[in-house]
Amino acid sequence: MALALDLSGRTALVTGSTQGIGRAIAATLAAAGARVAINGRRPEVVDSVIAELDGDLIAAPGDVTTAEGTAAVLDAVGQVDILVNNLGIFGATPALEITDEEWQRYFDVNVLSAVRLIRATLPGMTAAGWGRVLTIASDSAVVIPAEMIHYGTTKTALLAVTRGFAKEAAGTGVTVNSVIAGPTHTGGVEDFVYQLVDRSLPWDEAQREFMRLHRPQSLLQRLIEPEEIAQMVAYLASPLASATTGGALRVDGGYVDAILP
């Protein structure tokens, strides 16, 4: 039996898809036949990404951390069949130095933006009898990093958000899942690595030093490439994953030292 990830006729919205994991997810979904909305705050950047990628792509610029921006994005996309909540911020800050304002900013960007978009798109999916809601979480949701507990806490919240909305969508043909991404090689992560190791080190050495000192649990013993995350997302977005819902699926390189999830 041949297995194919065919998303023809489906429209996907990937938030924060002008770079990194989001861009890889958008490219992979488009390659599977989906019509994909590229999202970012700056229209010119969105347009440049669309010019660089192949497939049926549309521009959906807007700041989804605000109600107004979210409405503009959804107006540009129309009916959403596949929602990928990828947008997120992270950074290293000593635990006792994280201010109230920073805690609130992380919650607004990493959690509330996803909740707002799920709330807006889930009714249309359930009415149609088909849909996919996917949220990019992190190994930090399970193994809270001492250097960024505010980030880890928001990713833990996203696991709860996923499970709760999966119950809301029970029996409708809509699946709701999160993807626990491990340490991944993106431009933003390169900056983060150099916050924690010697900036004079060449990248290959810096990456190895980071994994040795700060992520020694990784069984992969390297950073994950964005395309590896995107392949899991494409599978979960496809009809092949019709019986997988309410889950937290790991693409973490074996970083989380647990049998489940």
Encode pLDDT of 209-243 as tens digits: 999 998 899 999 889 999 999 999 999 999 999 99
Same domain, 52 and 142: yes
CB atoms inside a 10 Å sphere around CB 24 = 23
d(CA 10, CA 224) in angstroms, rounded, equals 28
Read off the tokens for 213.
């000192």
Same domain, 138 and 59: yes
Same domain, 49 and 167: yes
d(CA 246, CA 232) in angstroms, rounded, equals 15
Q: Where are the beta strands (DSSP E) in 86-234?
A: 131-138, 174-181
Question: CB of 177 within 8 A of CB of 162?
Answer: yes
Rounded mean pLDDT, 134-146: 95
Nearest alpha-carbon partner for 211 in 220, 203, 221, 219 = 221
Q: Which residue has the tokens 């992190």?
A: 138
Same domain, 176 and 195: no
**pLDDT at residue 12, rounded to an integer:** 99
**pLDDT at residue 237, rounded to an integer:** 98
235 in catalytic set:
no
SS3 category, 189: helix
pLDDT digits (tens, 9 = 90+) for 242-252: 999 999 999 99
SS3 category, 164: helix
Same domain, 157 and 219: no
**pLDDT at residue 1, rounded to an integer:** 47
- Residue 2 in this model has a pLDDT that exceeds 70: no
pLDDT digits (tens, 9 = 90+) for 5-27: 999 999 999 999 999 999 999 99
Q: Containing domain of residue 118, as a range? A: 11-184+229-251
- Residue 81 in this model has a pLDDT that exceeds 80: yes
Rounded mean pLDDT, 103-122: 98
The residue ranking higher by pLDDT, 61 or 186, is 61
Q: Which residue has the tokens 């201010």?
A: 99
Rounded mean pLDDT, 103-108: 98
Walk across the sheet containing 131-138 and list its strands: 57-59, 35-38, 11-14, 82-85, 131-138, 174-181, 248-251
Rounded mean pLDDT, 83-106: 96
Say which amino acid occupies 257: D
Q: Which residue has the tokens 């696991």?
A: 159
Q: What's the domain count of the chain? A: 2
* Residue 48 resides in a domain: yes
Same domain, 115 and 189: no
Same domain, 33 and 144: yes
Question: Which of the residues 106, 151, 194, 235 is marked catalytic?
Answer: 151
- Which of 82-86, 146-150, 214-218 ranks highest by mean pLDDT? 82-86
Confidence of residue 98 (pLDDT cuts 50, 70, 90): very high
* Residue 258 resides in a domain: no
- Residue 3 in this model has a pLDDT that exceeds 80: no
* Residue 1 resides in a domain: no
**pLDDT at residue 258, rounded to an integer:** 87
Radius of gyration of the chain (CA): 18
d(CA 6, CA 255) in angstroms, rounded, equals 30
Nearest alpha-carbon partner for 236 in 249, 255, 224 = 249
* Residue 193 resides in a domain: yes
Same domain, 83 and 206: no
Same domain, 208 and 240: no
Same domain, 50 and 111: yes
* Residue 234 resides in a domain: yes
Q: Which residue has the tokens 């995107």?
A: 230
Q: Which DSSP category does 108 fall into?
A: I
Question: CB of 236 within 8 A of CB of 136?
Answer: no
* Residue 2 resides in a domain: no
Same domain, 41 and 163: yes
Same domain, 85 and 212: no
Min mean pLDDT across 100-104, 172-176, 231-235, 256-260 is at: 256-260
